[in-house]
Amino acid sequence: MQEEKEPSAAEISENLEPQLGGSLENFDFSPSGPHTVHVPVMLREIMAALDPQPGQVIVDGTLGGAGHTRALAEKVGKDGLVISLDRDPGAIERAEAALKGLPVILAESNFSELQEVLDEIKVGKVDGMMLDLGLSSDQLADRERGFSFNSDGPLDLRFNINEGKPASHLVNTMKEANLADLIYEYGEERFSRRIARKICEVRRERPIRTANELAEIVRRCVPRSPHETIDRATRTFQALRIAVNGEMQALEKILREIPYCVRPGGKVAILSFHSLEDRRVKDAFREKPFYRIVNKKPILADEEEVARNPRSRSAKLRIAEIVEE
Ligand SMILES: C[S@@+](CC[C@H](N)C(=O)[O-])C[C@H]1O[C@@H](n2cnc3c(N)ncnc32)[C@H](O)[C@@H]1O
């Protein structure tokens, strides 16, 4: 099957420009306050897609550093509401003070439980919703979480350290074949068998406890490539993070349940950062009858954004409208 051709930055801005209100040009693209180091990705494009109006209710399923939440809250105004969820209690805590005075409700919850959250706060279907998948720069910078390969912090990788088991548990207890399958499936790592074998060899001597210990082991198994742009441990860490957080299960559940949470005519904007996630979103938008695809090809960050915020380089934005079945 032929791969989708990515749209150029010019095509994207041509398509979006008519939707971008003048005031959106003045967005502040820096982190949304001193509480965070995270710079929101494709803020303008997401605001154009959701086009929040005064008085509307919008869900941000992935609060993070609150960059998108803040922009949405400013648009819906005092008669509207933004309901923002995050699994990470630290993200909620950091955003609380920063969002004071804005019409925002924060909930420490998995976005896969959105229906329950809406029921609890007695809100029916909302006018729009966004997800900005994966981890935030705040989590990456936290040396105690193990998201950064070069930290000597514990190999944890959980968004919420009160849920489930840390990645070190998987790495030190899983059968070699299962570990290899996991790294292959969630990391799309060609050298998964070799990595799993080496992990098992090392752990027979001593348990693997820190992020940099694991990164070093992986780097020894993955050959250098002349065009290397990412650390050789990236795919393995991605796989473990997806597994310990049940990320694919959460994404699949919300993709099924969105029509119970967003009204017909409402828009859903999803930003993903690797092909596994993007494929799930693309397939759901195509196959499920309650979605109408707004952009056939994913929207990418333009050159200026990539230069300003390298994290945006791998981002893909897909937008759908909810239609009545
Ligand atoms: C990329 S960051 C969001 C950044 C945010 N949009 C901003 O501009 O600051 C992703 C956040 O989503 C959270 N997260 C990831 N999966 C989640 C899930 N299933 N439910 C709720 N929060 C989740 C992470 O803890 C992280 O804080």
| Residue 9 pLDDT greater than 90, yes or no | no
Q: Are 37 and 65 in contact (CB under 8 A)?
A: yes
The helix (run of H) or strand (run of E) holding residue 104 is strand 104-108
Domains of the chain listed by start with CATH number = 9-138+248-322 (3.40.50.150), 143-246 (1.10.150.170)
Provide φ and ψ at 119, rounded to 5°.
Answer: -60, -45
Question: Two tokens at 12?
Answer: 């994207």
3-class secondary-structure state, position 113: helix
Whether 134 lines ligand 1, by a CB cut-off of 6 Å, is: yes
| Residue 312 pLDDT greater than 80, yes or no | yes
* Chain segment 66-125, per-residue pLDDT in tens: 999 999 999 999 999 999 999 999 999 999 989 999 999 999 999 999 999 999 999 999
Which residue has the least CA distance to atom 9 on ligand 1? Answer: 65
Whether 312 lines ligand 1, by a CB cut-off of 6 Å, is: no
Which residue has the least CA distance to atom 18 on ligand 1? Answer: 110
DSSP 29-68: -S-SSTT--PPPSSHHHHHHHH---TT-EEEES--TTSHH
Residue 24: pLDDT band with limits 50, 70, 90:
very low
pLDDT of residue 229: 78
- Distance CA(119)–CA(144), nearest Å, equals 35
Which range among 94-98, 108-112, 169-173, 202-206 shows the weakest confidence by mean pLDDT? 94-98
pLDDT of residue 8: 32
User: Which atom from ligand 1 is nearest to the alpha carbon of 64?
Assistant: 27
Region 204-215 average pLDDT: 97
Report the DSSP beta bridge partners of residue 129.
59, 268
Gap from CA of 135 to ligand 1 centroid (Å): 6
Gap from CA of 84 to ligand 1 centroid (Å): 10
* Chain segment 250-309, per-residue pLDDT in tens: 999 999 999 999 999 999 999 999 999 999 999 999 999 999 999 999 999 999 999 999
Q: Are 312 and 273 in contact (CB under 8 A)?
A: no
Q: Are 217 and 199 in contact (CB under 8 A)?
A: yes
- Distance CA(256)–CA(280), nearest Å, equals 11
Region 173-188 average pLDDT: 98
Task: Using alpha carbons only, give the angle 139, 144, 146 rounded to the nearest 5 degrees.
Answer: 70
- Distance CA(325)–CA(319), nearest Å, equals 18
Whether 110 lines ligand 1, by a CB cut-off of 6 Å, is: yes
Residue 198 has, within 13 A of its CA and on its CB side, a CA count of 17
pLDDT of residue 73: 97
Residue 310 has, within 13 A of its CA and on its CB side, a CA count of 2
Gap from CA of 159 to ligand 1 centroid (Å): 8
Substitution candidate for ligand 1 out of 86, 252, 281, 305 with most atoms within 8 A of CB: 86
| Residue 17 pLDDT greater than 90, yes or no | no
Gap from CA of 46 to ligand 1 centroid (Å): 15
Substitution candidate for ligand 1 out of 159, 247, 271 with most atoms within 8 A of CB: 159
| Residue 2 pLDDT greater than 80, yes or no | no
Whether 114 lines ligand 1, by a CB cut-off of 6 Å, is: no
- Distance CA(147)–CA(222), nearest Å, equals 19
The model's pTM is: 0.90
Q: Are 171 and 179 in contact (CB under 8 A)?
A: yes
Q: How many residues does the chain have?
A: 325
Strand duo 316-322 + 291-293: pairing:
antiparallel
* Chain segment 212-234, per-residue pLDDT in tens: 999 999 999 999 888 777 899 99
| Residue 21 pLDDT greater than 60, yes or no | no
pLDDT of residue 28: 52
Q: Are 320 and 293 in contact (CB under 8 A)?
A: yes
